[in-house]
Amino acid sequence: MIVARNLQECLAEYPRIMLEAIAEGWGISLTDEQVPEIVERLVVEMTNGEAVRMVLGRLNDLEREALAYVIHIGQVKAHVLARKCGHIRRLGPGRLEWEPAWHSPASATERLWFLGLICREYGVDEEYHGEMFFIPPEILTVLPPMPSPVPIFQLEPVAPPRTVRDDQDALAHDVFLVLSYLRNHDVRAKKGVLAQHELVNLRPRLRHGTPQRLRFLHHICEQASLIRREAGTWQPTGQAAAWLKEAPLARRQVLYRTWLEDVNWNDLCLMPAVSCEDTGWRNNPILARKSLAHYLHRCPLDVWVSVDSFVESIHEVEPDFLRPDGDYDSWYIRDVQTGQYLMGYRNWDKVEGTLIRYLLGRPLLWLGLLAIGYAQEGEKPDSFRLTEGGAGILELREMETSKVKGVRDEESVLCRIVVQPNFQVVVPHEASWYDCFLLERFARWLDEEQGTAHYVIDTASIRASLQKGITVRQIQAFLLRVTGGQVPPQVLRTLRSWARGG
């Protein structure tokens, strides 16, 4: 932002010819006054309420709208004002001497400029560094109220869609699987990513296994410091154990916040519809995500809204969310289908619009913040709504204490793991993920049905765990703890027998 100068300071920087142009617009006749005298006369006239009303009365509708826009925004980036209300030509004093451009202004913005109603200053606004326009405070105090032309963020509610995809905690579930798999297998760290064949081994248990989601799954595990490369293999970290012990919502918040602040995952260049060419330009992926998060906070809860209306509203209220400097001509991005470069603001929907749709239908869906609706299966998403978990992650709604703070009741029947006489182990959905992580060290997964997982303890799984240094005494103590002491006696006897090699 800028520290707005007062009217006298603004006028004092102008060349004499510019002051003469402003004076003519305010009906002030000049003779041989010096610049300081002209400035003083202008300040008196331009802060006179009656004179201001007379000048405003000579403005056309577009010029009044441009003035109202600056009034309500306060400080406007130069490219934003130019896009909405027209450019100001770069005319030096010499050219103005022989070409009185104020007699035929090229735009509404230029008309306000030659009247001295708006001034220009270099400023900084987050990622933006450049010229900004403002109205001197003395003029602001005498301007009459004007209706705001600033667009508002508004969404179109729609009926519930025919087809819905809601990933809920699927990504967190798959992170758990990756951690368990790496804990129990020696997975070599090649080229910085998990090998595809290793992820294929997990595919029967993964909730979703598309190539880009698998890549996202591995990346977020590493970015959240849940896995690391150690002695040439991938290993879960100590932080992974803490994450597994967290409450369901807290686990999902960790993944969301990791993605939100991740500069290394560039959503723009991962969109299948475009190809980004590295010619030296750089985008900041965090900016786009935080802008979208800001507007998700303004979405109604429990209401399906149109994707198109969400995109169009951002286009209206914050079109430069991806490029704060308004530079639409130096990013080399190709349309994959046509091969054409998507240069210029006219391609906003093919770049920014496509990115918004991509973020809604991919990362924010994967992270469980949104449910996505389709008019027909296989078509592009046309609606979305915040999920209950999404509202909790964004802290828009209070969640149950157990989901937020991880309140655990070891005596609760709902959380209790059950060991059956046939050595099968039943793990309810509410069980501790950390306990499941430990269970997988000596039990073999069978299947999962409606959130309830089934494992089996057999000779092969026990021998494998013994080879890793786990003792039968540790296994027995663990089972007694997670079942509330309800382990069938024959299971305990058989475990001791297997330990003796029987």
Greatest Cα pair distance, the chain, in angstroms, is: 115
Question: In 3D, which of 103, 244, 99, 122 has the Cα closest to residue 183?
Answer: 244
d(CA 214, CA 53): 64
Question: In 3D, which of 479, 485, 482, 488 has the Cα closest to residue 410?
Answer: 482
HSE-CB at 60 with a 13 A cutoff on CA atoms is: 8
The pLDDT value recorded for residue 486 is: 92
Burial of 455 (0-12, 13-18, 19+ CB in 10 A): buried
pTM over 0.75: yes
Least confident of 363-372, 396-405, 470-479, 481-490: 396-405
Over residues 114-136, the pLDDT tens digits come to 999 999 998 887 778 889 999 99
Give yes or no for a contact between 245 and 406, defined as CB atoms under 8 angstroms apart.
yes
- Residue 386 pairs in a beta bridge with 370
User: If you count DSSP H runs as helices and E runs as strands, how many of each does the chain have, helices first?
Assistant: 26, 15
Q: pLDDT band for position 25 (50/70/90)? A: very high
Give yes or no for a contact between 482 and 417, defined as CB atoms under 8 angstroms apart.
yes
Q: pLDDT band for position 455 (50/70/90)? A: very high
Task: Using a pLDDT cut of 90, give the percent of the chain over it.
Answer: 78
The pLDDT value recorded for residue 232 is: 83
DSSP letters spanning 301-344: TT--EEHHHHHHHHHHH-TTSS-TT---SS--EEETTT--B--S
Higher pLDDT, 223 or 129: 223
Burial of 336 (0-12, 13-18, 19+ CB in 10 A): exposed
d(CA 384, CA 306): 7
**If you search the block for the tokens 């469980």, which residue do you land on?**
368
Burial of 420 (0-12, 13-18, 19+ CB in 10 A): middle
HSE-CB at 382 with a 13 A cutoff on CA atoms is: 12
d(CA 278, CA 392): 38
- Residue 194 pairs in a beta bridge with none
Q: pLDDT band for position 445 (50/70/90)? A: very high
DSSP letters spanning 118-132: SEEEEEEETTEEEEE
Q: pLDDT band for position 433 (50/70/90)? A: very high
DSSP letters spanning 265-297: S-HHHH-TTEEE--SS----HHHHHHHHHHHHT
In the chain, the amino acid numbered 298 is R
Question: At 465, which helix (H) or strand (E)?
Answer: helix 459-467
The pLDDT value recorded for residue 380 is: 85
Domain locations along the chain: 7-140, 163-393, 418-499
**If you search the block for the tokens 């064949």, which residue do you land on?**
197
Mean pLDDT of all residues in 340-360: 97
Over residues 318-346, the pLDDT tens digits come to 999 999 999 999 999 999 999 999 999 99
The pLDDT value recorded for residue 413 is: 55
Give yes or no for a contact between 383 and 305, defined as CB atoms under 8 angstroms apart.
yes
- Is 201's pLDDT higher than 80? no
Q: pLDDT band for position 402 (50/70/90)? A: very low
Over residues 86-108, the pLDDT tens digits come to 999 999 999 999 999 999 999 99
d(CA 224, CA 245): 15
Task: Using a pLDDT cut of 70, give the percent of the chain over it.
Answer: 94
d(CA 415, CA 427): 8
The pLDDT value recorded for residue 3 is: 66
Mean pLDDT of all residues in 61-68: 96
